[in-house]
Structure 1
Amino acid sequence: MKKTIVLLLIVVVSVSMVFGNGEKEEAVAKPIVIQVGYENNPGEPVDLACIEWQKIIDEKSNGTMKIELFPSSQLGKKTDLIDQMIAGSAVCTLADGAFYAERGVPDFGIVFGPYLFNSWEDCWKLTESDWYADQSKKLETKGLKIISSNWIYGDRHTLTKKPVHTPEDLKGMKIRVANSMVFIKGFASLGATPTPLALGEVYTALQQGVVDGLENPLTTLDGGKFQEVAKYLILDGHIKNFTTFVVGSKFFNGLTKEQQTILVDSANEAGLYNNSIQTEKEQIAMKNLVAGGVTVYTPTAAEKKLFQDSSEKFYSYPEIADKWTPGLYDKVKAIINN
């Protein structure tokens, strides 16, 4: 009897060890899944590059890290996603300096100043500078970790329901902008009446006359089919928009060093892919806009200067400049012009 009991105990312990080890191995093998949400629609460069990112991170991590994609704001508004990140969720989105200014790092807002950059090389000079690294560290203390800053989003142009050739033509026109003081004052400096709206609400707002136009890169304008409800495009190029991908500091710090490296490297590699397809996709977008009945206007040098001169007001608006470190504009321009 005693032998029987001993044998039974041995069997129970052995089975427990097998199942216990199995559960442990299963837990280790379970991949880290990051949900990536963005406003862009399927087929836009950002979306295509994120699909490439899926492949890259899967390969680099041997399947232990994966990203799930949610285009067209399927995961929610940018501000809601950022709140989730700060709370520790495994969520990622693309965001820009204007949003980071709203999240406690006001100097970051200058990267969205109109006509700040003359080329993409100017952008990379700034993102690779010590100043940019310092701002990124400040953002980490606010709960957000930038994992990549090398994505070209595009030159932002203005699509409207009536022709615009100069800042004077924008007076009284309600132009959709993102809900950020930097965006709002940036377009106010160009003479328009900025109207904050989520991008997903703009098509209907144009139909109903709530707004008279919007500004965005060509690929985004085409991706949203805005040529169906607004027919005049001015290539004012008021912002050279590079974008960043961001996760929560709490989530990022919970990853191993190897996982952090894989996440950052894969995001940067996908950014290079994004940049490589931008020109082709912009050309396709332009053809689609024109085919949709859009009249495209390229401002003359004199008209472009009117926009640039008008934009200078942005850098002295109290709502913006009073929150900046003294001498910020000169410091940033010195980095760009170095």
Structure 2
Amino acid sequence: MKKVLSIVVATMLALSVAACGAKEEAPETPGTENPGTETPVDSGDVVEVQIGFENSMSEPIGQALQKWADLVEEQGDGSMKIVLYPDSQLGSKNELIDSMLLGEPVMTLADGAFYADYGVKDFGILFGPFLFDNWEQAWTLTESDWYKGQSDLLEEKGLKIITSNWKYGDRHTMTTTPVKGPEDLKGLKVRVPSNQIQTEGFNAMGATAVGLPLGDTYEALTTGTITGVENPLATLYGRKFQEVAKYLILDAHVKNFTTWVTGTMFFDGLSAEQQELLVSTGKEAGFYNNGLVDEAEADYLQKFKDEGVTVTEVDDATQAAFKQSAMSFYDLGSTFGWSDGLYETVRKAMGAE
């Protein structure tokens, strides 16, 4: 009898413990079974802004992005943070843009030529050769009503520019034969990114533009398929083009500033405080980036010289000759779908005329 009683008591205790456990385990809130699958703004969790980019963390732009992440942490209330994904870890620029248009909390860098491909045609002029005489004009333009109007048009396409004050660098030309002025470009085949703006820009300067992936350029220079390449100094040096092209002219044919962009759907879902934090810290980090770029360019230039590259400085007269040779590019506005008189409009907006 005692044995039966013990069994009954033990069974009742087990059932009681199980019932208590069931009460203490609260039911899951719908949508929380897969954290991160819903937009952080809606879930009430910390908003993670994922910045995907092609560069490495060791480059000036990578260091400046880390600065941006630090500023958000230091100046924010903890409701938002930046997570960095260098070396294309989040995918290509086009893949990231697709994610933005779906409302994902991602951001990447892009420029005017890219935005032209997304329907804001007039933005493409920003990559025109010798558009800017100096960096001050570039920054003046980004603060102009014209630039704001173009940015508003881009927002209608679903993309929101967060900041535009990040210097990517002056784009220079490296060749296998000496180039001292625009006349020396004739007959040269210069690698450019595969887009219409840069192709026509170099064609207008007298060279023959060849669209190639950057990864194929070293071999093309080695075999003589092309005889030149253009890019900021950091990229030219990082790709070791100095091993196969021993002439560098500092023509600065494009003053390449870049922008950081996200989706309007995501940005509009942030609180006003979060929006302001993201924009203000992005601009502050941009100034930091620009100092790093300037310092790095001086260092890269010395490295080129140390490795046997002949560097040609460009005086005012030569710069004027280069600019004159490129002016026919701006007659192609209808080909690019530009507004009438766009060149004059933009030059006025930057304070040049």
After TM superposition, the score normalised by the length of structure 2 is 0.83
Identify if the C-alpha distance between structure 1 residues 47 and 8 changes in structure 2 by more than 3 Å, giving closer, same or farther.
closer
Cα separation, 2, equivalents of 1:7 and 1:73: 52
The AA in structure 2 aligned to 1:332 is V
Q: Conserved in 1, the CA contact under 8 Å of 2:171 and 2:253?
A: yes
Is the CA contact (8 Å cut-off) linking 2:192 and 2:199 kept in structure 1? yes
2:339 to 298, 319, 325: 325
Indicate the SS of the match to 2:73: helix
Give secondary structure in 2 for the equivalent of 1:16. Answer: coil
TM-superposition CA deviations, 1:238-290 (whole Å, max 9, x none): 11121111112222223232222222222111101111222211111111222
Q: CA deviation at 1:9?
A: 7.5
| Structure 1 residue 30, shift from structure 2 partner | 4.2
Q: How far apart, in 2, do the equivalents of 1:265 and 1:234 lie?
A: 36
Aligned match for 1:70, one of 85, 100, 118 = 85
User: Does 1:82 pair with 2:125?
Assistant: no
Cα 1:42–1:16 shift into 2, 3 Å? closer
User: Aligned ranges for residues 1-338 of structure 1 at < 5 Å?
Assistant: 12-13=22-23, 15-16=25-26, 30-318=45-333, 320=335, 323-337=337-351
Indicate the structure (1 or 2) with the bigger Cα radius of gyration: 2
SS of the equivalent of 2:129 reads coil
What displacement does 1:183 show?
1.4
Distance in 1 between the 2:104 and 2:231 partners?
29
Contact 1:102/1:180, CA 8 A, preserved across alignment = no
Distance, in Å, in 2 between the alignment partners of 1:134 and 1:9 is 64
Between 1:73-82 and 1:287-296, the stretch displaced more is 73-82
Preserved contact between residue 142 and residue 164 of structure 2 (Cα < 8 Å) = yes
User: What is the percentage of aligned positions where both structures have the same residue?
Assistant: 48
Question: Residues 35 and 122 from structure 1, CA distance in 2 versus in 1: closer, same or farther, beyond 3 angstroms?
Answer: same
Deviation at 1:29, TM superposition (A): 7.0
Q: State the distance in 2 between where 1:260 and 1:313 align.
A: 42
For 2:7, the equivalent position in structure 1 comes to none
Aligned equivalents of 1:146 and 1:45: distance in 2? Answer: 21
Contact 2:333 2:339 in 1 (8 A): no
Two-structure CA RMSD over aligned residues (Å): 3.1
Residue type of the alignment partner of 1:174: K
One-letter amino acid of the structure 1 residue matched with residue 296 of structure 2: K
Deviations 1:113-136 (A, max 9, x none): 211211221112111111111100
Task: Tell me how far 1:32 sits from its aligned partner.
Answer: 2.7
User: 2:143 corresponds to which letter in structure 1?
Assistant: E
Report the 3-state secondary structure (helix = DSSP H, G, I; strand = E; otherwise coil) of the residue aligned with 2:350.
Answer: helix
User: Which amino acid is 1:141 matched to?
Assistant: E
Kindly provide the CA deviation profile for residues 2-26 of structure 1, in whole angstroms up to 9, marking residues without a partner as x. Answer: xxx9999787555427999x99x99
User: How far off its partner does 1:223 sit?
Assistant: 2.9
Question: Aligned in 2, Cα 1:189/1:199: closer, same or farther, shift over 3 Å?
Answer: same
Structure 2: where are the runs of 5+ without partners?
A: 1-14, 37-41
Letter of the 2:260 partner, please give it.
F
The runs of 5 or more residues in structure 1 that have no matched partner are none
TM-score, normalisation: structure 1: 0.86
Query: Within 1, Cα distance between the matches of 2:146 and 2:253?
Result: 23
What amino acid sits opposite 1:324 in the alignment? W
CA distance in 2, matches of 1:292, 1:237: 21
Aligned partner of residue 139 in structure 1, secondary structure: helix
Equivalents in 1 of 2:325, 2:253: separation in Å?
Answer: 11
CA distance in 2 between partners of 1:291 and 1:314 (Å):
36
Q: Deviations over 1:268-313 (max 9, x none)?
A: 1110111122221111111122222211012344332221111101
How many residues align? The count is 333
- Worse-matched range after superposition: 93-102 or 206-215: 206-215
2:9 aligned partner: none
Instruction: Give the drift of 1:49.
Output: 0.7
SS of residue paired to 1:219: helix
Q: Distance in 1 between matches of 2:24 and 2:257?
A: 58
Question: What amino acid maps onto 2:345 in structure 1?
Answer: K
